[in-house]
Amino acid sequence: MKSQVISLSNHERSRHERFMINHTATVIIKDFDSSEKTDVIDEVSIKANYHPLGYGIYGYSSIEPTGKMDEYVVKWKTGDNCD
């Protein structure tokens, strides 16, 4: 994996459905390669303390540039618990 998640800030969570959480975070990613989107989303979710092996990653996710160098807004959805 070339893309490297350096930092995560402004992580916001909101309930999506009964057992789902929407996440939005501002992230610094060095050398982002869109072909590595799934790996980057997983890494960001881990940094947000929602490990994909427990909470899962569901539905649509996105990584959009903010216009600042190496800064992106990442959106993804997880379960609300890791049972």
User: Over 70: is that where the pLDDT of 25 sits?
Assistant: yes
- 41/63 Cα distance (integer angstroms): 8
Domain residue ranges in the chain: 4-79
- 82/60 Cα distance (integer angstroms): 19
- 56/76 Cα distance (integer angstroms): 10
Reported pTM: 0.91
Average pLDDT for residues 28-38, to the nearest whole number? Answer: 95
User: Over 80: is that where the pLDDT of 26 sits?
Assistant: yes
- 60/72 Cα distance (integer angstroms): 16
In the structure, what pLDDT confidence band is assigned to residue 1 with cuts at 50, 70 and 90? Answer: low
Q: Tokens standing for 62?
A: 């996105």
Q: What is the per-residue pLDDT for 3?
A: 87
Q: What is the per-residue pLDDT for 16?
A: 76
Work out the mean pLDDT of the chain and round it to a whole number. Answer: 93
Dihedral sign for Cα atoms in the order 63, 20, 8, 52: negative
